[in-house]
Structure 1
Amino acid sequence: MNKITVIIAIIALSVNYSMAKTSDSIIVKSVEGDMAPIVRKILEEADTEDIHLIFEKGVYKFLPDYAVGKYLEITNHGNGYKRIIFNFDKFRTVTIEGNGAEFIFHGQAMPFLFVGCESINVSNLVIDWDIPFTFLGEVLAINKEEGWRDIKPFKDGFSWQLKNGQIEFPNVDGFNYNYLGSTLAFDPVEKRPVHGAWDIHSKPRWVEKLPDGNLRFHEPLKHYPPVGSLLSSKGDREHDRYAPAFDFKTSSNINLDGIVVHHALGMGFLFERSENIQMNNCGIFLRKGTNRVISTTADATHFCNCKGSILLENCRFENMLDDGTNVHGTYVVIDKIIDNKTLLVKLMHFEQRGFNFAEPGDEVWFIKQPSPERQETNVVSKVKTINDEFIEISFDSPMPQDLKSGDILENKTWNPEFTMRGCTIRNHRARNVVLKTPLKTVIENNIFSSMMASILFRGETFFWFESGAVNDVLIQNNTFEYCTYSGAEHSILYITPRLGKTFDESALYDRNIRFINNTIHNFGNRIVNADRVEGLTIKNNKIIKSFSAKELYPNRPLIQLTNCQNTLIEGNSYEGDCETAIKTDEFSKATLTSKRNKGFK
């Protein structure tokens, strides 16, 4: 079929755009003004389940005013009414060729939503905001005795106002955060959190404008930022995660290639109950030459109750305000047992509200306190959502007779195999990688630099209620350089279940974690801190202590084991001045094998 060029005039919007159609694609060109109504019209009028959009290279601007609006429940974000620019909720397959196009968003907008798609291919796009949803300023002076700090606020590219003695930002389309909220100090040269940085919850008593135009924040702090650092705030916790740049719900066969996100009002890429995902050559990082220090205001990537195979390869994640990636399931708590086949469960965290925990046909584990072990399973036959907090679940066969309120459930069906290969993650708050899937996990040939733990294992029933225990993890051939520089103490490999008080805090939890052939250059000695692990292997790693930064927690062991079983520490080498290489409790020591380690004291 020959290409037919169709010129469509949208009279009501006083906008013209050209759209070239082929038998299976729509070519979209950039025009001046808001592109949101144009995109909305294309998607609404598409009479196919298989849509293919090709964007010509250029700059496309999107406003929320005429975007599709709907109430959304988004895990690890704030639920609410969202303005969605690209709403893919009626298509079987979606293909988007970006050709290097830059999509610039304004205000409270959700760029991409995919719901129930069977195949998704998105490539070569750049995502950014015209005005970031952060406040940034240089620390000029502090006074701990009087409880104030002087800040030179950034104005170029940022939006804020001083009103009634308080900073209001981002001051966009009438929206402002209630207070400064989550605040962190960044190194102005390296553009990463400062050495020894602490998270600050900032809510000044009042903010004073000084004669020179700078601002004095009257607020006693437990940890003051250093003079000369850049102090960045992202707002109050109830509102500071509007939406991810990309949200994939109940979708499958997702391929993302060459997508770069410079800013987002939440996570970069969120995958909820989706399967078979590949991300290649994607990035979360600052635009070159920018005066910003924040890319996404939450995780770069996040996988919640996904299944199938997940691959992240040759990606670059920098300057987020949370983890590089988090792979986890969800624990729900039994609120009431209705009969021998039916129970009422509760979603525990406020950012889990409305989450689709299970559907008929899913297999579920029962976890009975005080043991954290996955025990009996059953198949879901019926799900009745009472509201966004409580769900009634019925099963094919009778449940365990000793089940009781307070026990927890974990979805066995929705867990993925996960591979991260050839990625670089650095210059951001929190952890590089957080892992909580029982299936095969491989982390290899990556470059990591972390503020907190570099790789964290923490299934927990304490706050987030993110499941669960791992069974098969290989971490090999990675480079760790300048890690764990948070003010709070962490370790490069940190295995630390956090279960509620009703669970046995000494019972084994994670299993079969192999930390092999990695190279570590770090200012501190805290390399591995493991709690409640069976079958931990630490082998053939090269550890070199660097003296380029201040050691924050001296006199710590290289490896610390608590309540661990069958640990192997073999063939590692260490160059530095650590007094204690391995520290264990009696339980861990009984089944520990340590041999052929060089430089260990």
Structure 2
Amino acid sequence: MKKNTLFFLILIAASPVWGQQVRNGINAAQFGIAGKKDATPVILKALDACYESGASRLTIPKGTYHFYPDYALEEYLALTGSSNGLRRIAFPLFNFENLIIDGSGSTFIIHGMMLPFELQECKNISIRNINIRFLSSVWGEGTVTEVNKEGHFFTIETSIGDSLEVENGRLSMTRNGENLPVKVAGWLRTDASGRCSFLSSNLGTSANVSIKPLRYGNFWIEVSPNQLPKEGWKVVWKADSERLESEISPAFHLTGSNGVTLSNVSVVHAPGKIMVAEQSGNIMLDRLNVLPDSLAGQRLSSLAGGIRFIGCQKEIAITNSRFSGMMGAAISVSGPTLKIIKRISNSVFGVRQISEKQWGSQFAQVGDTLRFINSADLTLREERVITRIRDLNEQYQELWFDRALPETVKPGILLTNISRQPEVILRGNRLNNMMEDGVRLQTSGKITVEGNHIRSGRHGIELGGDLASTFQPVALNQVFIKNNMLRRCNSTKGNRAMILIGPVLSDASADTTFVHQDVTLEGNTFYNEGKSILDATSSAGLVIRQNTVFDPKSVKMNYPVIRLLHCKKVGVVGNRYLNKQEAFMQVEDVKDLLFFNNEGIKSP
């Protein structure tokens, strides 16, 4: 009796303290995170405590913490853009609501192929003040230190931490005691202004290559004369292993989550994309920094690209963020595209994702409206509501619709989800040295791109979708591109417009409808190199006003500064082309064109 009374008194005395801890949030220090060799088990305990107590904040004291996969939670995941399979997770957030994770400026060092943050079916989650550094990766850089044209060889110096060596006459890396082959993906060339361009290489597959080790981290490579790089170029290498690539994960993966905010977060040397968000909404990214590892003297931050939103809805906002040195687009918004495989009945169809990198990912939910599109000419715009979904496997689904569809809807027709077309806001971001596109946006939601600096190798901004790829073809509606600065990353062959408004049709003539509505380009500054600043197709209500284009005096304008195909109600007003030579426009099948008060641009 006395023991029970004493326990009861202790419980009453402790309750206010525990209640105060919950109200103030939970601190990872309570679980002994300081000084731990592996923070993974500690974080898992802290997250369990947050979930069970309903705490609204998890604070991690400022420090450097290491995360290893040995005791991490393992979960089978379907990851768009990566291979589906088991992943080890540092911060597994499943069904959490109203939680702030504050790293207090800490650095998280990720060992092995871990997924740092997995968010499933979460609501109102904020992740802030965190620096993520991947210690081991599947790619790296070196420097060309010597080039001998007579001897047809060059030497490279790589980071000692990359642990490259020569095995059976090939570059290789050691991971978990296993020797994996490495190939040279290409070369990075940097000019005096700091802009970087990428030149691909076939050294990884060429038989006419001889490699010998020099001192540790340095290698002698003999090649044919036409494969020689130049001294000072950066060599980019990557693991040549399908199994290893199948383990790659993004730094953040979101599925079915709403109200997710990342602020003051940086990611260094990611093996894959920075974030993949699927079937989620109301996502806010502010002061997200993805930059090359300056400590290692790198030029690239990712071989894969930055942030990809798939089938999301409501609002996506990215502000005051920095992206630099990416092989793929920094920001991509689209939806997966399905193809009809089988017509089961007038209202039931068997479908499959076009890309195997999307297999297993959720395409829609019951109640969503789908649009049926003939990819050859964008006709057949039937729309139906999903009433039932049956997933037979990762590759094949069956969909039930609310009404019967005509016989013209048959195998080969594409389906897009028009219920998941988010509004996108990009404001105050800096995208530097994007080797390909800067931004790809395929959504019918309102788009605002304002006050950004974009330097890219291909299109700075690509809008509208590409039917020749797995991107979702959409009809743009209310697009505002204002007060941005766009520069070219390199002088690519052919004409790559700084801003592209699709769709780009493959093996088909231009469509016979005006797909896009109300697109405005205003007050933008283009630092061009004799290419087009805008290539627009199938647009109605296109306004191009008060933009300024700079071209080097030495560059001859061989391409139209603006190219318009099958557009109507177009205004080209108050734009300036600043060069001694006069620029020209290319206009095909354009109705109601208003052109006046433009400087340095010949009237079409």
Output the TM-score relative to the length of structure 1.
Answer: 0.88
Distance 1:257 1:135, change over 3 A: closer
Q: Residue 12 of structure 1 aligns with which residue? A: none
Residues 477-517 of structure 1: CA distance to partner in whole angstroms, max 9, x if unpaired? Answer: 11123445445642211234234547866654433321111
Q: Residue 597 of structure 1 aligns with which residue? A: 598
Deviation of 1:253 (Å): 0.8
Distance 1:347 1:516, change over 3 A: same
| Partner residue of 2:83 out of 78, 82, 85 | 78
| Partner residue of 2:188 out of 182, 185, 189 | 185
| Contact 2:22–2:55 (8 Å) recurs in 1 | no
Deviation of 1:424 (Å): 0.8
Q: What is the correspondence of 1:22-37 to structure 2 with a 5 Å cutoff?
A: 22-23=22-23, 25-29=25-29, 30-37=34-41
Q: Residue 415 of structure 2 aligns with which residue? A: 409
- Alignment of 1:228 with 2:229, yes or no, is no
| Partner residue of 2:560 out of 522, 536, 557 | 557
2:171 maps to a residue whose letter is: I
| Partner residue of 1:245 out of 244, 251, 261 | 251
Q: What is the correspondence of 1:219-298 to structure 2 with a 5 Å cutoff?
A: 225-236=229-240, 238=242, 239-240=244-245, 242-298=248-304
Moved more, 320-329 or 533-542: 533-542
- Alignment of 1:129 with 2:130, yes or no, is no
Distance 1:83 1:542, change over 3 A: same
Q: Distance in 1 between matches of 2:572 and 2:129?
A: 44
Q: Distance in 1 between matches of 2:359 and 2:528?
A: 40
Q: Distance in 2 between matches of 1:403 and 1:145?
A: 63
| Contact 1:369–1:503 (8 Å) recurs in 2 | no
Distance 1:388 1:224, change over 3 A: farther
| Contact 1:50–1:91 (8 Å) recurs in 2 | no
Q: Distance in 2 between matches of 1:304 and 1:480?
A: 26
2:441 maps to a residue whose letter is: L
Q: Residue 396 of structure 1 aligns with which residue? A: 402
Q: Distance in 2 between matches of 1:308 and 1:119?
A: 14
| Contact 1:140–1:149 (8 Å) recurs in 2 | no
Residues 257-278 of structure 1: CA distance to partner in whole angstroms, max 9, x if unpaired? Answer: 1111122221112211101111
Residues 566-592 of structure 1: CA distance to partner in whole angstroms, max 9, x if unpaired? Answer: 33211100111445421223x13x543
Distance 1:561 1:47, change over 3 A: same
Q: What is the correspondence of 1:94-105 to structure 2 with a 5 Å cutoff?
A: 94-105=99-110
Q: Residue 43 of structure 1 aligns with which residue? A: 47
Deviation of 1:133 (Å): 2.9
Residues 107-137 of structure 1: CA distance to partner in whole angstroms, max 9, x if unpaired? Answer: 2111000000011111111111224432322
Q: Residue 154 of structure 1 aligns with which residue? A: 158
Q: Residue 111 of structure 2 aligns with which residue? A: 106
Deviation of 1:25 (Å): 1.8
1:73 maps to a residue whose letter is: A
Q: Distance in 1 between matches of 2:482 and 2:142?
A: 40
- Alignment of 1:459 with 2:462, yes or no, is no
Distance 1:166 1:301, change over 3 A: same
Q: Residue 116 of structure 1 aligns with which residue? A: 121
| Contact 2:98–2:123 (8 Å) recurs in 1 | yes
Deviation of 1:405 (Å): 1.0
Distance 1:143 1:583, change over 3 A: farther
Q: Residue 10 of structure 1 aligns with which residue? A: none
What secondary structure is seen at the aligned counterpart in 1 of 2:326? coil
2:292 maps to a residue whose letter is: L
Residues 188-235 of structure 1: CA distance to partner in whole angstroms, max 9, x if unpaired? Answer: 8776533xx333455243441166774344566987644321121334
| Contact 1:207–1:217 (8 Å) recurs in 2 | yes
Q: Distance in 2 between matches of 1:222 and 1:492?
A: 31
Q: Distance in 2 between matches of 1:471 and 1:493?
A: 16
Q: Residue 534 of structure 1 aligns with which residue? A: 540
Q: Distance in 2 between matches of 1:344 and 1:218?
A: 53
What secondary structure is seen at the aligned counterpart in 2 of 1:43? helix
Deviation of 1:155 (Å): 2.1
| Contact 1:332–1:348 (8 Å) recurs in 2 | yes
Distance 1:450 1:397, change over 3 A: same
Q: What is the correspondence of 1:433-582 to structure 2 with a 5 Å cutoff?
A: 433-483=439-489, 485-486=491-492, 489-501=495-507, 508-546=514-552, 555-582=558-585
Residues 521-579 of structure 1: CA distance to partner in whole angstroms, max 9, x if unpaired? Answer: 233342112233333322110112236xx85x852221122333333211100111445
Output the TM-score relative to the length of structure 2.
Answer: 0.88
| Contact 1:460–1:467 (8 Å) recurs in 2 | yes
| Contact 1:284–1:320 (8 Å) recurs in 2 | no
Deviation of 1:417 (Å): 0.4
Q: Distance in 1 between matches of 2:223 and 2:354?
A: 33
- Alignment of 1:344 with 2:336, yes or no, is no
1:93 maps to a residue whose letter is: N
Distance 1:49 1:360, change over 3 A: farther
2:157 maps to a residue whose letter is: P
What secondary structure is seen at the aligned counterpart in 2 of 1:47? helix
| Contact 1:449–1:481 (8 Å) recurs in 2 | yes
Distance 1:451 1:66, change over 3 A: same
Q: Residue 6 of structure 2 aligns with which residue? A: none
Distance 1:25 1:596, change over 3 A: same
Distance 1:487 1:280, change over 3 A: same
Q: Distance in 1 between matches of 2:462 and 2:153?
A: 34
Deviation of 1:288 (Å): 4.2
Q: Residue 14 of structure 1 aligns with which residue? A: none
Residues 367-407 of structure 1: CA distance to partner in whole angstroms, max 9, x if unpaired? Answer: 13543157221111111112211111111221234211111
Number of equivalenced pairs: 579
Report the aligned-residue RMSD.
3.0
Q: Distance in 1 between matches of 2:87 and 2:193?
A: 35
| Contact 1:167–1:207 (8 Å) recurs in 2 | no
Moved more, 463-472 or 178-187: 178-187
| Contact 2:499–2:533 (8 Å) recurs in 1 | yes
Point out where structure 2 has 5 or more consecutive residues left out of the alignment: 1-12
Q: Distance in 2 between matches of 1:452 and 1:186?
A: 16
Q: Residue 199 of structure 1 aligns with which residue? A: 200
| Partner residue of 1:87 out of 88, 92, 110 | 92
| Contact 1:531–1:564 (8 Å) recurs in 2 | yes
Deviation of 1:443 (Å): 0.3
| Partner residue of 2:370 out of 353, 364, 367 | 364
What secondary structure is seen at the aligned counterpart in 1 of 2:162? coil
Residues 416-469 of structure 1: CA distance to partner in whole angstroms, max 9, x if unpaired? Answer: 000111111112322221110011100001111112211112512323243333
What secondary structure is seen at the aligned counterpart in 2 of 1:561? strand
Q: Distance in 2 between matches of 1:36 and 1:42?
A: 10
Q: Distance in 2 between matches of 1:236 and 1:510?
A: 42
Distance 1:392 1:279, change over 3 A: same
Q: Distance in 2 between matches of 1:423 and 1:557?
A: 28
Distance 1:42 1:429, change over 3 A: same
| Contact 2:581–2:600 (8 Å) recurs in 1 | no
Q: Distance in 2 between matches of 1:577 and 1:350?
A: 50
2:38 maps to a residue whose letter is: D
Q: Distance in 2 between matches of 1:346 and 1:369?
A: 15
Moved more, 150-159 or 83-92: 150-159
| Contact 2:484–2:523 (8 Å) recurs in 1 | yes
Q: Distance in 2 between matches of 1:502 and 1:334?
A: 20
Q: Distance in 2 between matches of 1:145 and 1:407?
A: 57
